[in-house]
Amino acid sequence: MGKQRKEKMIQQTLVLVKPDGVKRGLIGEIISRFERRGLKIVAMKLTVIGPDFAKKHYFDVCERRGEKILKANVDFITSGPVLAMVLEGVDAIDIVRKIVGSTEPKSAPVGTIRGDYTHMSYGHADEKGIVTKNVVHASSNENDAIKEISLWFSIDEMHDYKISCEEHVM
């Protein structure tokens, strides 16, 4: 395998601990799951975002699901602090998606973040007219990861360093 393919396998992805996860005191537990798997945190910050920033983050939601869903997502993500982090590792996007579980909490397997800490269904959220609270956001694919990371972090906020487990995957 050439160096180019090896470099392509090392990915970065955005993870957000949403206001429900922050308010429930799950930040440490969530971070530890990623670190135990060997993923490296290359950027992290606790922040409160405004509606304009939230709309930029959820722009694609409006196109796919409509203005009402966009408003619900914006209202929720701006309701309290959010922990934003960039994780890096081999096939990080797919690994992170496995760790967080299905977007709909009731479908997320036990052992995943959403499967262990949430149980809401889309149907319940729709009936109540609320957003599906699922503790975390994780980039869906490489294109989303690139867009989301550049929205949430400047290049000066990203850090390159070695962690001990890298010797096992590099």
- CATH number for the domain including 141? 3.30.70.141
65 pLDDT band (50/70/90 cuts)? low
Catalytic residue among 57, 119, 137, 159: 137
Residues 54 and 73: beta-carbon distance below 8 Å: yes
Torsion angle of alpha carbons 62, 78, 138, 38, nearest 10°? 170
Asked if residue 150 belongs to a domain, the reply is yes
Residue 137 annotated among the catalytic residues of the structure:
yes
**Residue 1 domain-assigned?**
no
109 is in which domain, residue-wise? 11-154
Q: Would residue 144 count as lying in a domain?
A: yes
Question: What is the reported pTM?
Answer: 0.89
Within a domain: 161? no
Can you tell me the mean pLDDT for 91-96? Answer: 97
> How many independent structural domains does the chain possess?
1
The answer as to whether 167 is a domain residue is no
When the pLDDT of each residue in the chain is averaged and rounded to a whole number, the result is: 89
What is the predicted pLDDT for the residue at 1? 42
Return the DSSP state at 134: -
Distance (Å, whole) CA 40 – CA 121: 31
Judge whether residue 40 has pLDDT over 80.
yes
Specify if 116 maps to a domain: yes
Which of 19-28, 33-42, 124-133 has the lowest average pLDDT?
124-133
> Do residues 119 and 74 lie in contact, with contact meaning Cβ atoms separated by under 8 Å?
no
